[in-house]
Every structure is written in structure tokens, then in C-alpha cells.
């Protein structure tokens, strides 16, 4: 078996140990005589899997008791609509801080349901940083303030929570959840599609403070109502059982690593390895303001874009894949989520050095 070093932005690489456990349990989960794929979600076997996953996530993220944890479907994209449906609570507008394409999309979708105030945007700077919080035009009557803590395409990350003056903070953490400890109590709601740092695509995690739910827009379907989902343990209908199970194995893997503090230190190390090399080599450029750089997604360009194709071809031959930048930005992007090893990042840096030596 030959595994590549996978820098894909998502679906992304998973811990090898987790994949091996999935493989070992695939035909017969824990003596049940069946695969998790074949179980009724109402059976005690799956119930135990589902509950353990929630418990482990609560433990790993230190989620306070007054927060609900939901396992939903539809990806982060569905949450772009569900957030205003559930959190407007009689208010008419919400604030959005736009630091990249995902936040921009979230704001656009929300605008179908409420008045969206773009309180700050770095689009004029081509999303190369986070606007100074003192310049934000927050509305004290907003139902919530939405941020994208890590912009997956542009490689821009919040490294602290902004002060929203008491208005609930909502975060699309799809691409940096579980990458470091966060103080969940600073958020009203956190959501994340699984396929970057949690597990396979198909399950979406929502962590929401319980006093914020139960007052949806009129005619909101039950499946989209956080309160009804919470009251039914995310099983109003058949949940994404297999993805939920694999996510649970990833939470246990994080615990075995020593928790989020250890993971965060490893991520810091990996990102530094790559950024330090890029900054010290004229041939490569990362355009993001240093203090706002992402530890998860590292976009970079080559001094000569005509060499992009050759760079990618050589990378592939060296066993490094998924490096092509997003079509809206061009160049390259290395996504270095939790499951990417330090050795994997070192292999990329070695390849980049060799490319400059022979082609630069
Ligand atoms: C990948 C991503 C999305 C889209 O997720 P889907 O699960 O495809 O809906 C949204 N926001 C961010 C920050 C992402 O990284």
C-alpha cells in the first residue's frame, strides 16, 4: 500500500490510525456481526456510538453544559440558511464580517432571509487580512455577528475572538475546528462541515447555546429547527450514521494525541515550517498579513506562474497531491489540517527547495 501526502482542502486527509480502525471494524463492529453502515440508528449499538462521539467532542472542546451539540446534514452551506432561520429571534438583521469567499457566500445566503449588514470586509484588499476591529461597523441591534474564523481559500485566520459587545458570535469553523483549544463560551453558535478536520463529508457539527434556540422564522421545517433537532438527539430522521461514527473515532484519536493543546502545538510547528521557508525564499510568496495567516491553509504563488503546471506535476511524482490553489486565487495551496504530519510538511518544503534549485 502506498499512501500519498494529501494536501487537499477538503475532503481532506484523515489520521491513518483512524482509517485502519475503520477497516478493521468494517465488516463486524464490536462483535455486532454487522457494519456500522448496516445498523439501525435506533439500535443500542449505534446509540452508543452516537453518544460516545458527542461525549468525546464535549470533552475535547470543553463544551459547557448549556450548549447543545447537533449532528446535522447539508454541510456548512446549509447552515448559511439555518443560522438566520434559527437565530434571528424576532430581530430583522445580522452583522457579517467578510474575510474571504466563504464569509461572503454566507452573507449572500443570509440576505435572502434578513437584512445583512456587512460590518467589515477585506475584499478591497483581496482578502489578505482581517480588518482592524476598531473599524467594524457593528449594529447593536443585530441578532448575531457572523465570522469565518478560518477562510479556507484565502488562508486568513482569526487568532482571537472579536468583542461583539454582547451580541452572540456565530462562527463557521469548518476548516479550523479542533485545530486548537477555543473558549466555546465566547460563541453563541459554532458550525462546521466535517470533511476538513473532523471526518468524512456528510455530517455537520453545530454547537449552540441553548437559550438561543426555539424561536425560528415562521414555517421553518422541523429538520432545520435546532431546537427540534436537539430535542430528538439529532435523530428526527436517519442521521449520517457512518460519518458520525468516523467523526467519533477522530475525536478519540485527538484524545490519544493529548488533546487540543498538543494538536495546536503541532499545527503551529507545521505552519511555521512552511511559512518560514516561503518567507525566506523569493521564488515563493504568501500574500496574507503575517498576524492573520492561517495555520490550516497556506496559499502560495510561484514567481513565474508559467511553472505552475510543472510544479504540480513534479509534486505528484514526488507523492505530494492536492496542492493546486483554488480557482479564484490561482497558484498553490497546501492544506495542513490536524491529520497532516510534520514529516508530510517537511517533504513538501524539501520538494519546494528542490524545485527552486532545478527550475527557479
Ligand atoms: C468547505 C467550507 C465550506 C463549505 O462546506 P460544505 O460542507 O461543502 O457545505 C464552508 N465554509 C468553510 C469555511 C469551508 O471551509
Last residue in a domain, options 204, 236, 257: 257
Residues 240 and 303 in one domain: no
CA-closest residue to ligand 1 atom 14: 174
Determine the distance separating the centroid of ligand 1 and the alpha carbon of 14, expressed in angstroms: 17
**Binning pLDDT at 50, 70 and 90, where does residue 36 land?**
very high
Residues 109 and 155 in one domain: yes
pLDDT for position 191: 99
In a domain, 225, yes or no: yes
In a domain, 266, yes or no: yes
Residues 185 and 61 in one domain: yes
Q: At a CB cut-off of 8 Å and minimum separation 6, what does 22 contact?
A: 246, 249
Determine the distance separating the centroid of ligand 1 and the alpha carbon of 29, expressed in angstroms: 30
Residues 181 and 88 in one domain: yes
Q: Report the mean per-residue pLDDT for the chain.
A: 97
In a domain, 7, yes or no: no
Residue 204 has pLDDT above 90, yes or no: yes
Q: Is 216 annotated as a binding residue?
A: no
Q: At a CB cut-off of 8 Å and minimum separation 6, what does 214 contact?
A: 226, 227
What total number of domains does the chain contain?
A: 2
Is the distance from the beta carbon of residue 71 to the nearest atom of ligand 1 less than 6 Å? no
In a domain, 25, yes or no: yes
- Tell me what the mean pLDDT of segment 207-217 comes to: 98
- Domain assignment of residue 291, given as a range: 259-359
Last residue in a domain, options 196, 229, 257: 257
| 137 noted as active-site residue | no
- Tell me what the mean pLDDT of segment 268-272 comes to: 98
Q: Is 6 annotated as a binding residue?
A: no
Residues 63 and 154 in one domain: yes
In a domain, 141, yes or no: yes
| 44 noted as active-site residue | no
pLDDT for position 1: 80
Residues 240 and 263 in one domain: no
By most ligand atoms within 8 Å of CB, the mutation choice from 99, 193, 296 for ligand 1 is: 193
Determine the distance separating the centroid of ligand 1 and the alpha carbon of 204, expressed in angstroms: 10
pLDDT tens, 155-195? 999 999 999 999 999 999 999 999 999 999 999 999 999 99
Residues 248 and 293 in one domain: no
| 270 noted as active-site residue | no
pLDDT for position 214: 97
Residues 182 and 280 in one domain: no
Residues 274 and 233 in one domain: no
pLDDT for position 142: 98
Is the distance from the beta carbon of residue 10 to the nearest atom of ligand 1 less than 6 Å? yes
Residue 295 has pLDDT above 90, yes or no: yes
pLDDT tens, 49-107? 999 999 999 999 999 999 999 999 999 999 999 999 999 999 999 999 999 999 999 99
Q: Which residues pair with 333 in a beta bridge?
A: 299
**Binning pLDDT at 50, 70 and 90, where does residue 360 land?**
confident
In a domain, 6, yes or no: no
Domain containing residue 144: CATH number? 3.40.640.10
pLDDT for position 265: 98
Residues 131 and 252 in one domain: yes
Determine the distance separating the centroid of ligand 1 and the alpha carbon of 20, expressed in angstroms: 26
pTM for this structure? 0.98
Is the distance from the beta carbon of residue 152 to the nearest atom of ligand 1 less than 6 Å? yes
pLDDT for position 328: 86
Residues 227 and 299 in one domain: no
Is the distance from the beta carbon of residue 148 to the nearest atom of ligand 1 less than 6 Å? yes
- Tell me what the mean pLDDT of segment 314-328 comes to: 96
Last residue in a domain, options 238, 257, 276: 257
In a domain, 220, yes or no: yes
- Tell me what the mean pLDDT of segment 3-19 comes to: 97
Residues 63 and 84 in one domain: yes
pLDDT for position 98: 98
Domain containing residue 355: CATH number? 3.90.1150.10
In a domain, 347, yes or no: yes
Amino acid at each position: 500500500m502506498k499512501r500519498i501526502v494529501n494536501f487537499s482542502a477538503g475532503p481532506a486527509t484523515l489520521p491513518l490510525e483512524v482509517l485502519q480502525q475503520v477497516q478493521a471494524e468494517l465488516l463486524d463492529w464490536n462483535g455486532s456481526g454487522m457494519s456500522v453502515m448496516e445498523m439501525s440508528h435506533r439500535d443500542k449499538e449505534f446509540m452508543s456510538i452516537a453518544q460516545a462521539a458527542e461525549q468525546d467532542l464535549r470533552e475535547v472542546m470543553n463544551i459547557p453544559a448549556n450548549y447543545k451539540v447537533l449532528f446535522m446534514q447539508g454541510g456548512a452551506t446549509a447552515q448559511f440558511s439555518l443560522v438566520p432561520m434559527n437565530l434571528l429571534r424576532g430581530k430583522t438583521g445580522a452583522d457579517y464580517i467578510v474575510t474571504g469567499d466563504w464569509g461572503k457566500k454566507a452573507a449572500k445566503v443570509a440576505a435572502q432571509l434578513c437584512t445583512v449588514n456587512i460590518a467589515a470586509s477585506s475584499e478591497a484588499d483581496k482578502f489578505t487580512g482581517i480588518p482592524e476591529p476598531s473599524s467594524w461597523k457593528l449594529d447593536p441591534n443585530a441578532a448575531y455577528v457572523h465570522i469565518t474564523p478560518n477562510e479556507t481559500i484565502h488562508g486568513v485566520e482569526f487568532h482571537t475572538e472579536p468583542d461583539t459587545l454582547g451580541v452572540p458570535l456565530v462562527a463557521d469553523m469548518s476548516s479550523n475546528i479542533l485545530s486548537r483549544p477555543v473558549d466555546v463560551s465566547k460563541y453563541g453558535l459554532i458550525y462546521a462541515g466535517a470533511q476538513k478536520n473532523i471526518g468524512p463529508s456528510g455530517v455537520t457539527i453545530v454547537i449552540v447555546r441553548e437559550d438561543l434556540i426555539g424561536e425560528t422564522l415562521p414555517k421553518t421545517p422541523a429538520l432545520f429547527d435546532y431546537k427540534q433537532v436537539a430535542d430528538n438527539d439529532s435523530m428526527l430522521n436517519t442521521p449520517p450514521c457512518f460519518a458520525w461514527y468516523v467523526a467519533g473515532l477522530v475525536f478519540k484519536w485527538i484524545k490519544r494525541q493529548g488533546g487540543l493543546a498538543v494538536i495546536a502545538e503541532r499545527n503551529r510547528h507545521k505552519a511555521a515550517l512552511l511559512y518560514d521557508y516561503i518567507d525566506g525564499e523569493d521564488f515563493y510568496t504568501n500574500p496574507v498579513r503575517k498576524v492573520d495567516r492561517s495555520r490550516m491553509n497556506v496559499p502560495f504563488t510561484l514567481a513565474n506562474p508559467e511553472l505552475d503546471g510543472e510544479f504540480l506535476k513534479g509534486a505528484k511524482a514526488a507523492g505530494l497531491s492536492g496542492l493546486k490553489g483554488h480557482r479564484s486565487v490561482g497558484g498553490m495551496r497546501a492544506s495542513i489540517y490536524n491529520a497532516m504530519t510534520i514529516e508530510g510538511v517537511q517533504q513538501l518544503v524539501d520538494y519546494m527547495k528542490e524545485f527552486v534549485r532545478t527550475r527557479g
